[in-house]
Structure 1
Amino acid sequence: MRKNLLLLLLAVLSFTAFSQTEKEEKLIQFSGLVMTSDSLHAVPYATITIKERMRGTSANAEGFFSFAARLGDTIYFTSVGYKPAVYIIPTALTVDKYSVIQLMTKTEYYLRPTIIYPWGSREAFRQAFLDLRAPSDLEELARQNTEREKLAEAAKELEVNGNEAARRQLQARAVKYSYMGQLPPQNIFNPLAWAEFIKAWKRGDFKKKD
């Protein structure tokens, strides 16, 4: 009698262990979408890992994923720029397919600004700047662009805005008020004007052009 009871007890324990193992080993198709928690946009290529087996997959460009998992598995969701998320598959499922929408929260990483210079030190930069020699054609071009005559011609072609017109009018009034009660000076007696006239005459600015 005792022997029969012992055999019955072993059979019950074996059946219970087998049922529990079968339940734990039950596989389901676990799928879903990984989305942002604030705007519900897809999180592309998120990494999905099963903690117990350190296996997993990754979502596609639309945030979709699908893989085989077990009941009770702990699933980790990670992606650059987002806080990690955890989901535990329920153990009481009776279906072989299970879908979820996993939300992830954005996180911000502040990096210190980095400026890269081609010189090893300030002294090296100073020496390189002093040793810099611009090509002669560039020097000539810079000299021509800064000639007074060309600057004056360029200024004439520019349209006068409201601020410039007001400034010129105020300057003209200031000059007029400064010579009030007396004759304003004539450029014919201005030595600087005569010097500019002589330079222009020597350059041939007054010759007729064919």
Structure 2
Amino acid sequence: MKFCLKTVFVLIIVAFSLGAHAQEEPTKKLVQFTGIIQNVDSNVVVPYVTIRNISYRDQFFASNHQGYFSFVAHEKDTIEFTAIGYKTTQVVIPESENNRHSGIVKMEASVTALPVVVVLPWASVEEFNQAFLALDVADDDYLLAKRNLSRESLVAMAREAPLSANELQNYQAISSHQNMTNRNINQRYANPLLNPFAWAKFIDQISKGSKK
């Protein structure tokens, strides 16, 4: 009998404590929270943002590819928005008369300055030292210019390099002049009476008594 009374007394105390706690913290009103998430600088929508209700059981939601979201929460709940490349943003749902709240959530881009990375073709400092010691150091500018202006180098470049427009024009002009000169000489010496060599041969033959 004493055990039963003791158990009933404990149950009464627990029930009274739960009732008092419920009176101290009344149930919050539900609100349909709807909105669009945008970039604070360019007003471009931020897609696929992770949304977490910090104030109520860590409920998770997500926005779609257009940055749109809609879910049920409570008044005064703190909602956290996180996305890759953006700073975490928190919004507190205000009180609403019609059980609905809509708005635009602005998120700021997170810019991180990365250190400069120099990519080298050597895996270690020892390999770099070996490659540096085996490096064939080129001559200075004077020796390089002297080598490039040597006769052998110029002849090789003239043999391989194509002619420029000025060189082609000069070559054609010289060739035309030589052809015209040779043509005039051949025409002049075609007539034996105008050929001085023929006259010299003729006079020589007469002096020698040739009857031809």
TM-score by length of 1: 0.49
**Structure with max Cα Rg:** 2
TM-score by length of 2: 0.49
